[in-house]
A and B are shown apart, each in its own frame.
Chain A
Amino acid sequence: MDEAEVVKQMRRTVLQMVYTAREGHLPSSFSIMDLLYVLYRDCLHIDPHHPKAPDRDRFILSKGHASAALYAVLSHFGFFDATHLSTYCQPGSLLGGHPDCQKVPGVEASTGSLGHGIAIGCGLAIGLRQQGSPRQVVVLVGDGEMDEGSFWESVMMAKNLALSNLVVIADCNGSQHYSHSFDYEGILRSMGWQAHTVDGHHLSELRRDLVPRVRASRTAPLFVRANTQKGYPIRRFTGDHGWHRRTPTEEEMADLMAELS
């Protein structure tokens, strides 16, 4: 199966999970699917069979409402069995609407309330550095999430502490109306971070532009603006906030599956 097909299959998995559970955030999940795939396949050093091994990179999905995408990717890469996916949001499941770090193998932080992930990431980065670990801390945030004050407190903390082992990737799908207006790349650079922009849906470009930058040794924290489309590649998800937490009807489900085949 070619790679694009693999990621498409993951989107179908996510769609099926959300459809079955009648719960979840499809557009927010779809906009980070490609990023998550490349991160776990090519970038992060985390052993799926030893997800707590001290010598691992740390990844935090700070926009925890996109948990379905994370679960599909974690299961694809062997963190847990795919049978769990069909239990998403059901009684007894490991997998809830937002991820629980005490339940899900590979989940580092119980996110869901926006604006926490980057600050937890700062703490992880400080701790790892103190222990002399060469590992990276990668935090994926939403651009709307960057509204939060705690985000900017952390940006300044990371600069002041020169947390060169911290990477923040912003899923810039432009869905939150205030977030459009800022040149985040320029702002972060002016605040002492390294900053770059990538296309968040282009697998080979991500591999070329994102992966080496995350792996490279740096003197400052790294900010990556990923230009994405909310709900990609489903047209009707983009620009229609009504889909943010809506689940498809049976008819819509058939259409959506067709669009993803």
Chain B
Amino acid sequence: MRAQFAATMTSLGSEDPSLFVLVGDIGAFGLRHFAAAYPGRFLNVGIREQAMASAAAGLAATGFFPVIHSITGFVVERCFEQIKNDFCYSGLPGNIVSVGGGIDYAAMGCTHHSYSDLALLKSLPGTQVFCIGSPHEFDRLFRASYRSGSMNYFRLADRAHGIAFRDEELAVGRSISVRTGHELTLLTAGELLTSCLEVASEIGGDRCEVIYSPSIKPFDAARVRASVTKTRRLLVAEEHSVLGGLGDEARRALDNSGFAYALTSLGIQDQFLRDYGPRKHLLEVAGIGPARLLQEARTLLERSP
């Protein structure tokens, strides 16, 4: 995924002299080809994330389309106010690409987890928010949006989900129906798609519909509504706090829909994930491991909405 970030930057850098990449002492090695090819449009500003964010806004005001990059907590949570005032409020275009969102840095502890990033950036006017689970997704969605004038945020998962999409399926504000079914809708983003598809096959037949939504804002409410109109059951799985994430988007999409449905929203509950170990283990601790998803899917299927 990081390789795709670098590849997309290098390729776009040659087409577009207004693309400017800034990093906060993270990812400089991965971006070395971009740096070598366009030395005037690459800066490793050092461990100075807040200054990096505001400086990028200054660059945007001179006509560049800046990309700022670091670990999620440092480029999103720490720079939230810079992003709010200097980009969103000021109406300047920008892009944030982060790694280590959710619990990718599992054993590194909570300073290196971030399950508030999507909610935070979603809450600012003038943002677009993407939770990216494959290199292709990043390439398509970045190209489609980086000059849009919004502040675009891309959370890159460490591991890709491995599912291939067609170019035209990957569009801002659109979700993808990865598998169709009739009794239960599974909604997810990022790498958790893998587990959701496993759940769907484990349950078997055409009972589960799987919707993949890398575009968190704008959110494809219509597809969720259409699917749940049919299935009347929705299971949301996200590597993010249940407060303000995908589950909340789905709930809003179904507001006033006029029919009864059952909804289970799985994500990180209102707690810090203080344990260590591999990501798989932390997913289990958080209650979003594959076994838990399967169990919750089965429970929902037994319920009549």
| Contact surface of A with B, Cβ cutoff 8 Å | 21, 23, 64, 89-93, 95-100, 102-103, 110-115, 144-145, 147-149, 176-179, 241-242
Q: Which residues on A sit within 8 Å (CB–CB) of B47? A: 114-115, 144-145, 147-148, 176
**CB-defined interface of B43-54 with A at 8 Å, one 1/0 digit per residue?**
010111111000
Count residues of B near A (Cβ-Cβ below 8 Å).
Answer: 24
With A147-B46, A149-B51, A177-B44 as given contacts, are A96 and B109 in contact (CB-CB < 8 Å)?
yes
**Quick check: A178 and B46 within 8 Å, CB to CB?**
yes
In the complex, A223 Cα to B105 Cα: how many Å? 33
Chain B 42-86 residues near chain A, CB threshold 8 A? 44, 46-51, 73-74, 78
In the complex, A84 Cα to B210 Cα: how many Å? 43
Q: Max chain A CB contacts within 10 Å: which of B25, B74, B109?
A: B109
With A144-B25, A147-B47, A178-B46 as given contacts, are A110 and B109 in contact (CB-CB < 8 Å)?
yes
With A147-B48, A148-B48, A176-B47 as given contacts, are A241 and B29 in contact (CB-CB < 8 Å)?
yes
- Sample 23 A-B pairs with CB under 8 A, ordered by A number: A89-B107, A89-B276, A90-B276, A92-B277, A93-B277, A96-B109, A97-B105, A97-B276, A98-B109, A98-B112, A100-B110, A100-B274, A113-B78, A115-B47, A147-B25, A148-B48, A148-B49, A149-B50, A177-B44, A178-B46, A179-B46, A241-B29, A242-B29
Task: Give chain B nearest CB distance to A5 CB in angstroms.
Answer: 30
Task: Kindly state whether residue B275 has any CB partner on chain A within 8 Å.
Answer: yes
Q: Which residues on A sit within 8 Å (CB–CB) of B49? A: 148
Q: Which residues on A sit within 8 Å (CB–CB) of B111? A: 64, 98, 110-113
In the complex, A89 Cα to B105 Cα: how many Å? 11
In the complex, A54 Cα to B48 Cα: how many Å? 35
Chain B 242-285 residues near chain A, CB threshold 8 A? 274-277, 281
Q: Which residues on B sit within 8 Å (CB–CB) of A110? A: 109-111
Q: Which residues on A sit within 8 Å (CB–CB) of B276? A: 89-93, 95-97
Q: A97's contact among B25, B44, B48, B108, by CB below 8 Å, is which?
A: B108
Q: Which residues on A sit within 8 Å (CB–CB) of B110? A: 100, 110, 112
**Quick check: A21 and B275 within 8 Å, CB to CB?**
no
Q: Which residues on A sit within 8 Å (CB–CB) of B78? A: 113
Q: B112's contact among A97, A177, A241, by CB below 8 Å, is which?
A: A97
**Quick check: B46 and A97 within 8 Å, CB to CB?**
no
Q: Which residues on B sit within 8 Å (CB–CB) of A21? A: 107
In the complex, A176 Cα to B105 Cα: how many Å? 22
For the A-B complex, the count of residue pairs with Cβ-Cβ distances under 8 Å equals: 78
**CB-defined interface of B99-123 with A at 8 Å, one 1/0 digit per residue?**
0000001011111100000000000
In the complex, A177 Cα to B35 Cα: how many Å? 15
Q: B73's contact among A91, A113, A147, A242, by CB below 8 Å, is which?
A: A113
Q: Which residue of B lies closest to A22 (CB)?
A: B107
**Quick check: B109 and A112 within 8 Å, CB to CB?**
yes
**Quick check: A144 and B46 within 8 Å, CB to CB?**
yes
**Quick check: B109 and A91 within 8 Å, CB to CB?**
no
Q: Which residue of B lies closest to A151 (CB)?
A: B47
Q: Which residue of B lies closest to A25 (CB)?
A: B108
**Quick check: B48 and A149 within 8 Å, CB to CB?**
yes
**Quick check: B25 and A91 within 8 Å, CB to CB?**
no
Task: Give chain B nearest CB distance to A109 CB in angstroms.
Answer: 10
**Quick check: A97 and B109 within 8 Å, CB to CB?**
yes
Q: Which residues on B sit within 8 Å (CB–CB) of A98? A: 108-109, 111-112
**Quick check: A92 and B25 within 8 Å, CB to CB?**
no
Task: Give chain B nearest CB distance to A243 CB in angstroms.
Answer: 12
In the complex, A21 Cα to B276 Cα: how many Å? 11
Task: Give chain B nearest CB distance to A2 CB in angstroms.
Answer: 35
In the complex, A115 Cα to B24 Cα: how many Å? 13
5 closest A-B pairs by CB: A112-B111, A91-B277, A97-B108, A147-B47, A89-B107
Q: Which residues on A sit within 8 Å (CB–CB) of B50? A: 149
Q: Which residues on B sit within 8 Å (CB–CB) of A178? A: 46
Q: Which residues on B sit within 8 Å (CB–CB) of A64? A: 111
With A113-B74, A145-B47, A176-B25 as given contacts, are A100 and B109 in contact (CB-CB < 8 Å)?
yes
**Quick check: A112 and B112 within 8 Å, CB to CB?**
yes
Q: Which residues on B sit within 8 Å (CB–CB) of A100? A: 109-110, 274
Task: Give chain B nearest CB distance to A65 CB in angstroms.
Answer: 8
**CB-defined interface of B14-33 with A at 8 Å, one 1/0 digit per residue?**
00000000000100010000
In the complex, A115 Cα to B110 Cα: how many Å? 16
**Quick check: B48 and A89 within 8 Å, CB to CB?**
no
Q: B281's contact among A23, A91, A114, by CB below 8 Å, is which?
A: A91
Task: Give chain B nearest CB distance to A230 CB in angstroms.
Answer: 14
In the complex, A91 Cα to B111 Cα: how many Å? 17
**Quick check: B277 and A90 within 8 Å, CB to CB?**
yes
Task: Give chain B nearest CB distance to A34 CB in angstroms.
Answer: 24
Can you name 15 extra interface pairs (CB under 8 A) apart from A100-B274, A147-B48, A242-B29? A21-B107, A89-B107, A89-B276, A90-B277, A92-B276, A95-B276, A97-B112, A97-B276, A112-B108, A113-B111, A114-B47, A144-B46, A149-B50, A176-B47, A177-B44
In the complex, A97 Cα to B278 Cα: how many Å? 12
